[in-house]
């Protein structure tokens, strides 16, 4: 008996396996009461992105100040080989690569959620003020209380979450938030926080000002296992929660009235998705500093490649991870007489992307 034939049958259809659904014009993966639509194009895009991210990761591990062969990298990953090679791969390059992949993926997912709940292509955390809120929290900690690594990270998380709550409260009117109002309020709050950061920079001494500038540039230099592990733990907790909300958030794109008609408690799901996405953004920003445009561009590029609507969380994660890892690899290869922060590279690439997008639409 085949595996499909061995599957339990219910109303003439298997309860487990990949089956064709004529209503959805595609295939559905079923596991008992749980089912998920499988789109071949989305799978293909995800597979290509995973391969590109793997290729970027391999090049990152192989190249640098110390050129290492592929065989030596494989041996070093297992703790074998020369001590300096093992130290370079396991102690510096691998944690930096994993941090880039996890931070970029987290920002890609957060951008997809924000753009969906705001129903606006500009609804990303670096546009509507949440990233600026995290940066403001870190700057307050550095200038007023001292710039310890752990303390700065916690202050960034607190600043991002507090900013999100303020934006949500101000954008809420007659029990409803979201849409363009959420974006505009976020931009306004972000502008105020940017002024606060500038004021603190002016009154800070030279040492604190330099620390703030380095942190605000967004960098993966010196990022080690504590940074990679912290973002990995946050992603392992928050991503499944966002996946559970994915269908309800997708319904919100149809508008509040349509979602209400389907029995969706709109504000409850919007607030839950907002809090989870902000927490993911804040942890990512705490690990590397503000990284511009990844959250904005990753979901839009995925939507263009897959030609699908809805909240595509996993493809957005892979796209964000690939973009940031590639930008970091590029930043390490730019010979401008200093260590180029990856945040500056993503800002330049993101600006070019926006210009191209606007010119194409015009």
pTM recorded for the entire structure = 0.84
The answer to the question of residue 69 being in a domain is yes
123 and 267 share a domain? Answer: yes
266 and 278 share a domain? Answer: yes
30 and 47 share a domain? Answer: no
116 and 264 share a domain? Answer: yes
177 and 260 share a domain? Answer: yes
262, 282, 302 — which closes off a domain? 302
DSSP line for 54-87 = HHHHHHHHH-SSS---HHHHHHHHTT-S-HHHHH
31 and 172 share a domain? Answer: no
Q: CA nearest 233: which of 98, 359, 110? A: 98
135 and 281 share a domain? Answer: yes
25 and 69 share a domain? Answer: no
Q: CA nearest 160: which of 289, 309, 353? A: 289
Contact (Cβ atoms closer than 8 angstroms) between residue 67 and residue 57? no
257 vs 21, 41, 184, 250, CA distance in Å? Answer: 28, 31, 21, 14
Element (H or E) spanning 200, and its range? helix 179-203
Longest dimension (CA), the chain: 76
305 vs 111, 171, 301, 360, CA distance in Å? Answer: 16, 32, 6, 16
The answer to the question of residue 357 being in a domain is no
Contact (Cβ atoms closer than 8 angstroms) between residue 200 and residue 140? yes
What's the CA gap between 128 and 44, in Å, rounded?
A: 32
Cα R_g (the chain), whole angstroms: 22
Contact (Cβ atoms closer than 8 angstroms) between residue 143 and residue 200? yes
The answer to the question of residue 316 being in a domain is no
Contact (Cβ atoms closer than 8 angstroms) between residue 310 and residue 113? no
203 and 285 share a domain? Answer: yes
Q: CA nearest 130: which of 277, 336, 350, 344? A: 277
The answer to the question of residue 141 being in a domain is yes
Q: CA nearest 295: which of 306, 282, 307, 310? A: 282
Phi/psi class of residue 172: alpha, beta or left (left: φ > 0; alpha: ψ in -120 to 50)?
beta
> In the beta sheet, which residues pair with residue 31?
16, 34
234 and 114 share a domain? Answer: yes
pLDDT tens digits, the chain, 362 residues: what are they?
Answer: 333 433 343 444 455 555 554 444 456 665 555 556 667 788 889 899 999 999 999 999 998 888 888 898 889 888 888 888 888 888 889 999 999 999 999 999 999 998 888 877 777 787 778 888 888 888 888 888 876 777 888 888 888 889 988 888 888 776 666 667 788 888 899 899 989 988 888 888 888 787 788 778 788 888 888 889 989 999 999 999 998 888 888 877 777 677 777 777 777 888 888 889 988 998 898 888 888 889 888 898 898 888 887 788 899 999 999 999 999 988 888 765 456 788 888 888 877 877 877 777 65
281 and 134 share a domain? Answer: yes
Helix (H, G, I), strand (E, B) or coil at 177: coil
The answer to the question of residue 321 being in a domain is no
CA angle 186, 192, 198 (to 5 degrees): 135
Q: Which residues contact 256 (CB under 8 A, 6 or more apart)?
A: 176, 178, 266
The answer to the question of residue 323 being in a domain is no
18 and 58 share a domain? Answer: no
Q: What pLDDT does 32 receive?
A: 55
The answer to the question of residue 317 being in a domain is no
Domain limits at 160? 99-302
Determine the distance from the C-alpha atom of residue 355 to the mean position of all C-alpha atoms in its chain, rounded to a whole number. 22
The answer to the question of residue 175 being in a domain is yes
What's the CA gap between 218 and 235, in Å, rounded?
A: 19
User: For the CA atoms of 205, 207, 211, 212, what is the dihedral angle to 10 degrees?
Assistant: 10
- Quick one: the chain helix, strand, coil %, rounded to 5? 70, 5, 20
Name the domain count of the chain.
3
What's the CA gap between 295 and 299, in Å, rounded?
A: 7
């Amino acid at each position: 008996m085949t595996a499909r034939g061995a599957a339990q049958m219910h109303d003439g259809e298997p309860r487990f396996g990949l089956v064709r659904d004529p209503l959805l014009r595609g295939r559905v993966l079923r596991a008992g009461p749980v089912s998920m639509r499988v789109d071949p194009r989305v799978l293909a895009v995800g597979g290509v992105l995973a391969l590109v991210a793997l290729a970027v990761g391999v090049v990152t591990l192989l190249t640098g100040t110390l050129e290492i062969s592929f065989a030596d990298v494989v041996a070093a990953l297992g703790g074998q080989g020369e001590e300096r090679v093992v130290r370079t791969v396991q102690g510096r390059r691998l944690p930096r690569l994993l941090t880039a992949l996890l931070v970029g993926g987290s920002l890609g997912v957060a951008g997809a959620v924000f753009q969906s709940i705001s129903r606006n292509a500009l609804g990303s955390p670096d546009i509507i003020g949440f990233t600026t809120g995290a940066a403001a929290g870190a700057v307050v900690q550095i200038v007023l209380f001292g710039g310890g690594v752990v303390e700065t990270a916690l202050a960034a998380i607190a600043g991002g979450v507090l900013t999100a709550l303020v934006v949500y409260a101000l954008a809420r009117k007659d029990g409803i938030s979201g849409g363009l109002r959420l974006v505009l309020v976020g931009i306004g709050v972000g502008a105020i926080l940017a002024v606060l950061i500038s004021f603190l920079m002016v009154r800070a001494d030279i040492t604190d000002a330099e620390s703030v500038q380095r942190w605000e540039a967004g960098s993966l230099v010196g990022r080690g296992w504590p940074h990679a592990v912290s973002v990995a733990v946050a992603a392992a907790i928050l991503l499944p929660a966002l996946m559970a909300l994915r269908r309800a958030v997708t319904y919100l794109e149809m508008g509040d009235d349509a979602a209400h008609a389907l029995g969706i408690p709109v504000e409850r799901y919007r607030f839950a998705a907002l809090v989870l996405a902000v927490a993911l953004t804040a942890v990512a920003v705490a690990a590397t500093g503000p990284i511009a445009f990844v959250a904005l561009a990753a979901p839009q590029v995925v939507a263009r490649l897959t030609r699908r609507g809805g909240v595509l969380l996993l493809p957005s994660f892979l796209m964000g991870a690939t973009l940031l890892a590639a930008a970091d690899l590029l930043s390490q290869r730019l010979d401008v007489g200093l260590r180029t922060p990856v945040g500056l590279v993503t800002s330049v690439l993101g600006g070019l992307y926006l210009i191209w997008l606007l010119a194409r639409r015009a």
